[in-house]
Structure 1
């Protein structure tokens, strides 16, 4: 039994508006479940985003299905909620094996076993092969299985490191069928797609870059990917079995391997597959020729991680890319007929009010259709985490570490100051005539978004009342 905990409600009360308008299926769990099922092991999945059950009622529902083991996949913000469920399970059935994996388990590692006694095993790294071997061994001899941390007579111990899966095409398509409400319950960010149903896809693992704020503890620094043929078949499967009409390639580096993407575009266009898509790209990979390929093969929107408009801040945290060149590349995307989304971050170590205002002014000059602004969060697996307290105040409250709360305050700044700048960023960008016109066009470009927006208008208005825009 796989469990995907919900995590902290960032609004404090009422519905979490972020999940009303942006909810992706738990692809990591789905991939592991599909792999186990391909080897004859029955799996079930409880995605807590898709059930009203919580606490004791949820634990009782899990136990009523008589699982042989329960595996939790947790981010930092959802870990304590997941552990609370695990404790309830252990109280009622002490012999039930409890396994934790995911980003938080991989980044913190064996110390979690010392602090949280209801956990029996940690899966460190990719979970497909490790969970298969752990399951077929009947959860015995775990210390000999690569990629596992467990308790022994000498305390907690971690086995050898699990080798990465070399050929991702060997993995079956994710077990979407194990989600009772897929694809109805799941939806990409509002106004970021032309059609529905839609979903997210990951076609690669790892990243060779070294950004200070990125956690690579699960998939490491390498870069592995599905072949173009596999990706096209994956999209065909989603369209045929679930009616999917649009996907978001959630890969950090979808365009990293140019030959792969060129071949994918060629195959998809040739197959006339009626599935459009969004992707994330790095600016240094983009040129007019590649953009033409993307557009012809059905790409609707390209997202770029811009992060900051202050050159000194960028140099401290990621590979530098000239700010003037950013504007040139974004204009190429717009010229090709695709939408452009910019991804920014506020509250990075070394930032000041002046540098954040510089970022806001810079973003307003860029040819962006929309933005996403996250609140910098130093996750345990990120390089910046090691000395984060030297750069400001860090309130390490795991449930709040979801990029929607300022848990880190750079030196010389305050939390109210950061909140004001964040709200100013959102307000100044979205309350412009050009942006209003762009969203008006969504009446025919993204009709499902409009309908979804109107259905949830009461929640939006309640949210607006709480904000100090």
Structure 2
């Protein structure tokens, strides 16, 4: 049954340059699966839904205002991360002041979930949806549709009663992910999106098949947002969605965007077997941890089409791994990379530069370790201390914040927002450029990569070469 209130979901203004700095040409631009999931639930419940991704569309605040005036929504839901929360608040302010004060502003996402008590006090915010938003947002829409004014029974919601903040009890995590509809990708202009430059396939889409993380890395807030309980879709449901993407969007590449795809060994083996049995001949990539793979798993993954795994290595010595509470060992990293390469899967390694107590010598060890494990790609990001993470307090005790402007808190930015004791901003920036040069500008490495580059679409080959030149010769 069609409902009356109109919904608009928004990704706030941002840019690839702000997110990735000098590596903007190899960065990823994917549609928000969070908003796609919210949109799917709302549509299934009969609500008319639109999505505006300001980042993908390159919209300014002024562009967004004009679009909102044209669409005349009753409810606006805005996705928030640490570096976009202030932009979300700016949108709320502009809507209430310049367009219509009666439009309901709803915040969701990581940052709003971590600090609902703080952001619900904002005069331009009406509601905050915490944690997994599908059920909470749907319940809120139903209440608004029925013109209710008391929202005390909606678990997971922060709201205002007589202008005073109210934080309801938490909503239970969604256990049956199979019950959720496919993400509403059709609400996005899919021509505006693209995968990371090193991924294969001219039309690669991403998919999320699980939620929650049983690990508690110090720099990450995932376990606080989606819980430590690892929940996953059935392999039948995953294969159905992949087939749907092939049929409706003609994809020729897949990117599993789960935080850690291989947490549950029987499940990933079953998924790989089912993909082979169903003749899903797609090249695919994923993220996982080195302690969540073994030879049996990697052999199955390779047979099912996996060609690339992005491992969170983070550091090249045990002391720094322990500082970050990574929960892995140097030996586990070595074994995982050896096994991965044995089955001809590309192994990527990410490292974090400038973590509290890290020294320049630690950074050098990370560089040498990346070479030792023969990473096919290595990525270094300058540490950004995100409020709400376990490492945040340690960071403040062992260094100083250079700014409190959360707009600058992108984890991939070239400009540090934090400097640990014994380091300087200039040294961090130069060190990042130095490790990239030392890792990528090796003759044998270049020859090997040139051979593999031929498997990529021409546009991505250009992006990789361009970014390599920028990182090598920039000042």
TM-score, normalised via structure 1 length? 0.93
Match of 1:90 among 96, 102, 112: 96
For residues 403-422 of structure 1, the aligned pairs below 5 Å read 403=411, 404=413, 405-422=415-432
Secondary structure at the aligned position of 1:321 is classed as: coil
Deviation digits for residues 198-245 of structure 1, max 9, x if unmatched? Answer: 021111111111111111332122111111111111111111111111
Match of 2:54 among 45, 48, 54: 48
Secondary structure at the aligned position of 1:315 is classed as: helix
Deviation digits for residues 105-130 of structure 1, max 9, x if unmatched? Answer: 1112221122x321111111111001
Using a 3 Å threshold, how does the CA distance of structure 1 residues 322 and 389 change in structure 2: closer, same or farther? closer
Alignment of 1:107 with 2:114, yes or no, is yes
Match of 1:400 among 404, 408, 415: 408
Q: Residues 198 and 245 of structure 1 are in contact (CA less than 8 Å); yes or no, is this contact kept in structure 2?
A: yes
The answer for the alignment partner of 2:5 in structure 1 is none
Match of 1:118 among 113, 124, 127: 124
Using a 3 Å threshold, how does the CA distance of structure 1 residues 119 and 302 change in structure 2: closer, same or farther? same
Using a 3 Å threshold, how does the CA distance of structure 1 residues 282 and 346 change in structure 2: closer, same or farther? same
Deviation digits for residues 404-458 of structure 1, max 9, x if unmatched? Answer: 2321211121111111211111111111123212321234311x1x32443898x
The answer for the alignment partner of 1:321 in structure 2 is 328
Rounded Cα–Cα distance in structure 1 between residues aligned with 2:255 and 2:269: 18
The answer for the alignment partner of 1:163 in structure 2 is 172
CA apart distance, 1:48: 1.1
Using a 3 Å threshold, how does the CA distance of structure 1 residues 320 and 147 change in structure 2: closer, same or farther? closer
CA RMSD of aligned residues (A): 2.3
How many pairs align?
Answer: 460
Secondary structure at the aligned position of 1:143 is classed as: coil
Match of 2:70 among 39, 50, 64: 64
Deviation digits for residues 311-363 of structure 1, max 9, x if unmatched? Answer: 11111212443323422321211110111100111111111112112111211
Moved beyond 6 Å, runs of 4+: none
Rounded Cα–Cα distance in structure 2 between residues aligned with 1:373 and 1:272: 37
Using a 3 Å threshold, how does the CA distance of structure 1 residues 257 and 324 change in structure 2: closer, same or farther? closer
CA apart distance, 1:142: 2.4
The answer for the alignment partner of 1:179 in structure 2 is 188
Rounded Cα–Cα distance in structure 2 between residues aligned with 1:302 and 1:462: 25
For residues 43-442 of structure 1, the aligned pairs below 5 Å read 43-91=49-97, 92-114=99-121, 116-138=122-144, 140-153=149-162, 155-180=164-189, 182=190, 184-191=191-198, 193-216=199-222, 217-394=224-401, 395-403=403-411, 404=413, 405-442=415-452
Q: Residues 369 and 438 of structure 1 are in contact (CA less than 8 Å); yes or no, is this contact kept in structure 2?
A: no
Using a 3 Å threshold, how does the CA distance of structure 1 residues 465 and 303 change in structure 2: closer, same or farther? closer
Structure 2, unmatched stretches of 5+, are 1-7
Using a 3 Å threshold, how does the CA distance of structure 1 residues 44 and 411 change in structure 2: closer, same or farther? same
Using a 3 Å threshold, how does the CA distance of structure 1 residues 98 and 277 change in structure 2: closer, same or farther? same
The answer for the alignment partner of 2:39 in structure 1 is 33
TM-score, normalised via structure 2 length? 0.91
Structure 1, unmatched stretches of 5+, are none
Secondary structure at the aligned position of 1:29 is classed as: helix
Secondary structure at the aligned position of 2:371 is classed as: helix
